[in-house]
Each structure stands twice: as structure tokens, then as C-alpha cells.
Homo-oligomer: A and B are copies of this chain.
Amino acid sequence: MSQILTFLGKGGTGRSTLAVAAARAAAQQGRRVLLVGHQPGSGLEMLLGGIPLSGEPVTIAANLSVVQLRTTQLLEQHWTAAKELEAQYVRTPFFREIYGQELGVLPGMDQALALEALRRYDASGQYDCILYDGPGDLTTLRAFGIPEVASWYWRRASKAFLGSDLAKTLRPFVEPLLRSVSTVEFSSLEDLSNRLGGMTNIFEEGRQAIADPRRVLAHLVTTPDPMAVQTARYLWGSAQMVGLTVGGLWVMPLVPGEVSAADFSPLPVRILPRRQGSDWSALEEAVGGIFAVPQVPPPVAIDEGARTVKLFIPGFSKAQIELSQSGPELTITAGDQRRNLFLPPSLAGRQVTGAKFQEPFLVITFG
């Protein structure tokens, strides 16, 4: 199992520089490191001294490999896998008529395929740490949000569908239709839904990994520029909304000024030295503690005895947070993200009686 680190912050604050420094430091400590680049044209190659990167991991130093994710290439690989699945389950496949080499890239594919690539590198057992140098903004958080959001859509839609009049109308067609199309026997719509639902276990595993700071951790990067500081705060709160723990703030002194540590309390705030040409040693030393699991509040803490749900949402004001309840679910909207929390049985039947925002916590009380 690997430790996965990613870096959030405004563009131009030195996220890739921090990723490279952390990768070099970990490799020198003897850990097996994979640096995953995922911002085409961003200049990661330049930071690495001009080494040409490829879609397959390349070892560039002892313990240190680098890969540059290419969505077009990942899409081809996954299309081949999808064809094999189709051939296994469908009597008369038609995916085979379409070739992976002709598939264009639609929005969202980059994030879904990157997350799947990280999952695969993690599962390979070949790396102790994986450093993901992605877009570093809300786009990266959308990727890490996939497991939770996609499984919510699946559960919600299949529940609504199975109870609907539409399902009643379709029921008589389903069994004969599936029998003529599929190589597998399905006894009913519910059976089909359950079997497809089994495939969403992979989402649940992903959700748990992302929520575990020993496995996945984000770090904020900023310069003293007020706009960059504001972006870092926004992304700090936004990371909590996908269950991702933020371990610290790193300040690159690219412009004059100071960052107020109080704005990021309780995160450790560390100021990085500037890199001197091709000498990375000062930076490598400065990032030493980046892999430590931080002592910070969890994104969600449920206290069944006190009947409270405590959400850690730093970086947002009260006006930016909305809350609603529907059956066993609590829906929180903050910034431009929405999270549906399933309440434990002891709270699911109860009404919300109070919601108090004491920055950076939203404490919700049940009757």
C-alpha cells in the first residue's frame, strides 16, 4: 500500500517544485517513489532537468520513477478492457466496431482515468509513496470526489428507479430482453441492479482510502500574494468536502510579503527556501516532514451519544454554507461542492434541531 500525496494551490505558486522536492527527499531516504505528472505542457520535464517523460513509469534516479499521465493513452487501454468485459457478458458485442485509437477526450475523462491510474499504481505494491502533481485546483478535488459522488448517484438513481412506475412498465420486457442479450442469467430487475451495484464496491474502497490520511494526503502551496493565499484557503475547505485531509501549508517566497499562520490554524505553516539553480538540497531538507500524518481535525466527526455531527469546513464563511436534510441523508453545499452524508441509524430518524457555525466547525445537533 502506498502513501499518496497531492498538492493544492493557485497556479504558479510552486506546486510542481514542491512535488519534485518531496519525491527526491523520499527517494533519498530509501522509499520507492513514483512521481505522477498530470498537467501536460506544465514544464515538469524542465523541472526534472529535461528528462523526456512517458506514459509508462521511467526510473530517473535510485528509488525514483516518473510517469506523465496521458489521457488519450489511458483511454485506449481502458477501451480494450471494456471490450473484453463486453465480449464476456454480451452475446452480440458491438464495442469491437469502435477502436481505442480513434476516441477523443471529453471533459471528466482526465480526472476519472487519473484516479484509476493512481489506484492501479497503489495496488501494484511497487511504490511506497506516490506524488500526484495534477491541476491542483478544484479539478483535482473533483477527481478525488468521484468515489463518493458516483456511488451516491448510483444508489440514489437505482433506488428511485426500482420504486418507480417506469420500472413497473419496463419489468415485463427486462427478463426476455436480458436473456437474448446477455451471457449471464438475471432473474429480475433487482437482480441486475444488485449485480451492477456490486461493481460499485470499488468506489467504496476508494472513498475509504481517500478519507484515510495515512493513505491519501493533500498539502497546500501558496506564495505571500493575497490572491494565492485566498485560493489556498478556498481549496483547504474544498478538500474537506471530498473527505480529503490537508496536512500543511507550504509558503514559496516568490514575491515579498508574509502569510498569517492564524489564517491556517491548526495547520503547520512552513516557509520554503528558494531553489538555487539545479541545487535542490535546501528544498529537499525543508520538505522532510511532508509525509508525516498530521494532527488535524477530521472532515466529519459523528458523536452518536451527543447526537451531533461536527464538520470541519475551514476557509468558508457561514454565508457560503448550506445545509439540508432528507431522510437518512444530510446534504452540505459549500463553495462549489456538495456532499451527501449518510447518517448512522441512531441519527437517521431524527430531525436536525440546530446548526451552529463556529469557524472552522459546523456543529449539527439532532433532536
Candidate in A11, A72, A150, A180 with the most chain B CB atoms within 10 angstroms? A11
A133 smallest CB distance to B (angstroms): 13
Q: How many copies of this chain does the complex contain?
A: 2
Q: With A90-B166, A97-B164 in contact, do A108 and B105 touch (Cβ < 8 Å)?
A: no
B163 touches A70 (CB 8 A): no
**Selected contact of A104 from candidates B90, B103, B234, B339, CB within 8 Å:** B339
List chain B residues, Cβ under 8 A from A329. 102
Q: Is A245 an interface residue (CB 8 A)?
A: no
**Selected contact of A173 from candidates B92, B105, B177, CB within 8 Å:** B177
Encode A171-215 as 1/0 by CB contact (under 8 A) with B: 001001100110000000000000000000000000000000000
Encode A114-144 as 1/0 by CB contact (under 8 A) with B: 0000000000000000000001011100110
Q: With A12-B12, A72-B337 in contact, do A169 and B104 touch (Cβ < 8 Å)?
A: no
How many residues of A are counted as interface, with CB atoms below 8 angstroms from the partner's CB atoms?
A: 84
A83 smallest CB distance to B (angstroms): 12
Contact stretch, chosen from A225-233, A262-270, A276-284, A358-366: A225-233
Q: With A104-B153, A104-B339 in contact, do A41 and B99 touch (Cβ < 8 Å)?
A: no
B166 touches A181 (CB 8 A): yes
Q: With A107-B111, A164-B97, A181-B166 in contact, do A338 and B102 touch (Cβ < 8 Å)?
A: yes
List chain B residues, Cβ under 8 A from A148. 104
Measured CB to CB, the nearest residue on chain B to A316 is B41
Q: Is A46 an interface residue (CB 8 A)?
A: yes
B104 touches A137 (CB 8 A): no
A192 smallest CB distance to B (angstroms): 15
**Selected contact of A150 from candidates B103, B106, B226, B335, CB within 8 Å:** B106
List chain B residues, Cβ under 8 A from A99. 326
Measured CB to CB, the nearest residue on chain B to A167 is B94
A101 smallest CB distance to B (angstroms): 6
List chain B residues, Cβ under 8 A from A93. 166
A237 smallest CB distance to B (angstroms): 9
List chain B residues, Cβ under 8 A from A337. 72, 104-105
B137 touches A39 (CB 8 A): yes
List chain B residues, Cβ under 8 A from A137. 11, 39, 135
Q: Is A149 an interface residue (CB 8 A)?
A: yes
A103 smallest CB distance to B (angstroms): 7
Q: Is A306 an interface residue (CB 8 A)?
A: no
A–B complex contacts, Cβ < 8 Å, 24 sampled: A12-B12, A41-B138, A41-B238, A42-B231, A43-B231, A47-B227, A72-B337, A92-B169, A94-B166, A94-B167, A97-B160, A101-B331, A102-B326, A104-B145, A104-B337, A105-B142, A105-B337, A106-B108, A107-B111, A107-B142, A110-B142, A170-B177, A173-B176, A177-B177
Residues on A close to B: CB < 8 A?
Answer: 10-13, 39-43, 46-47, 70-72, 90-94, 97-99, 101-112, 135, 137-139, 142-143, 145-146, 148-150, 152-153, 156-157, 160-161, 163-170, 173, 176-177, 180-181, 226-228, 230-231, 233-235, 238, 324, 326, 329, 331, 333, 335-340
